[in-house]
Amino acid sequence: MTDIAFSHLAIVVDDLQSALQFWRDSLGLSQAGEIERVAAEEVDAAFMTLGDAKIELIEPTTADSGIAKFLAKRGPGIHHLCLEVPDLDAKLEDLSARGYQLINETPRERGGRRYAFIHPKSSGGVLLELYERN
Amino acid sequence: MTDIAFSHLAIVVDDLQSALQFWRDSLGLSQAGEIERVAAEEVDAAFMTLGDAKIELIEPTTADSGIAKFLAKRGPGIHHLCLEVPDLDAKLEDLSARGYQLINETPRERGGRRYAFIHPKSSGGVLLELYERN
């Protein structure tokens, strides 16, 4: 058994209300909490919960964030996958030693949550975020 | 609470062995079963399990399948998200009545599993597969 958990799949949308109309009102997912403004990421976010996993819908609130640029360039769609590991520093050190490329060599922190991104070059074209289990 | 479950996230890879080296051997996910040849889809597939959710790594085995063309055009990365619903016919009928576009108007079946794809135009750029709960 792995000690890694599925945290969330983040989907960039150009309009959170019509995205909610699809994923929540029409498909039938459950929204957890209200829409949250995440100032640091310059997005509004809504979380849908499905058992252990979450789907996060994110809409850029400014035009020049990384997320806004992704949306402008590639259109709406899946942005990143986030998995949760027990010891983030050890995992990053190990991946780095194996020659995989990290976007964040040392973990960043937001709202008490430690996280780091792995470069899509290393994870087969997938932008992979790792959370440290709280 | 929603009655929809997270089934799997499918990632197209150009080489299953090096993908397994990353996701399983380096990152530490658990592989469920052996690599499976899915003749109908013209892919080899490996499943990683994380609690209720699965990550499916798929490598095309021919050059002209839909998956092979996706890989050739867009490179490796996330291919589709699959969620599991209790009543697939009812869900498709309801989505269709709401004006959403389906790739499969009526469910297809493979190995006793009924499934249908929703068009990315309707699901905000995400290729969405729905499984019927068995």
* C-alpha to C-alpha distances, B113 to A126, B88, B109, nearest whole angstrom: 27, 11, 5
A-B contacts at Cβ under 8 angstroms: 124
Question: Looking at beta carbons, which residues of chain A come within 8 Å of B51?
Answer: 5-6, 51-53
Tokens coding A23: 């994923």
Domain B5-132 has CATH 3.10.180.10: yes
Q: Is the pTM of this model over 0.90?
A: yes
Angstrom distance (rounded) from CA B57 to CA B66 = 15
The DSSP secondary-structure symbol of A1 reads -
* C-alpha to C-alpha distances, B36 to A42, A52, B40, B52, B74, nearest whole angstrom: 42, 26, 12, 20, 24
Quote the percentage of chain B above a pLDDT of 70.
100
**CB A77, CB A12: distance < 8 Å:** yes
Question: Per the CB < 8 Å rule, is A91 touching B27?
Answer: yes
Question: What residue segments make up the domains of chain A, in order of their start?
Answer: 5-132
Q: pLDDT, tens digit, for every residue of A120-132?
A: 999 999 999 999 9
CB neighbours of residue B27 within 10 Å: 23
Whether B53 contacts chain A with CB within 8 A = yes
Global ipTM = 0.93
Quote the percentage of chain A above a pLDDT of 90.
91
Question: Looking at beta carbons, which residues of chain A come within 8 Å of B125?
Answer: 11-12, 75-78
Q: pLDDT, tens digit, for every residue of B23-32?
A: 999 999 999 9
Question: Looking at beta carbons, which residues of chain B come within 8 Å of A95?
Answer: 26-27
Whether A76 contacts chain B with CB within 8 A = yes
- pLDDT of amino acid B62: 95
